[in-house]
A and B are shown apart, each in its own frame.
Chain A
Amino acid sequence: AQSVTQLDSQVPVFEEAPVELRCNYSSSVSVYLFWYVQYPNQGLQLLLKYLSGSTLVKGINGFEAEFNKSQTSFHLRKPSVHISDTAEYFCAVSELNTDKLIFGTGTRLQVFP
């Protein structure tokens, strides 16, 4: 069965600094990978996804992620964060030909002025 690990529960960073949120997954088959963002008191929104093709995926709000099959990772990056990026970020994995999306435990990104 697939699983997702987000090692950092919280990431504090100053405004305009770069940030990387880490995600590792385990699966015995090929997977789809996702990053979702949850702003306070809201549901989750899709930030970006990797299905196939180029391993560097660009999403909304200037975020990007790189799929690394050998390291089973899908880290999320942004070169310069804004206060408005403060939110909780969830990595998720879905095995090919299944209907289930399994989420990590989330990383709370806190951007300080």
Chain B
Amino acid sequence: EADIYQTPRYLVIGTGKKITLECSQTMGHDKMYWYQQDPGMELHLIHYSYGVNSTEKGDLSSESTVSRIRTEHFPLTLESARPSHTSQYLCASSEYVRGSQETQYFGPGTRLLVL
């Protein structure tokens, strides 16, 4: 089991609410990622980070935002949740090796349902 944690595991929330999905890892990894995955579908990268104070947008446009104030912590925030945000959100981390992409370690995911 990888040392990467996500909370909550499940969240049902009403439209317009602000939510924060937590992700933390204890492996000291510099790179962290957020993916969005609909049931039975591929993963879409929505945010990633090279390290503290670094955040980048991924391949899929997302209304969410992220922050990286500490190495181990990479929370994702939705200011105003909508039903279209209903999905599974997966957090991952990896070592940072220049010019390479190393093994990613995934958390268990957060299943979000916006009513």
**A and B, one complex?**
no
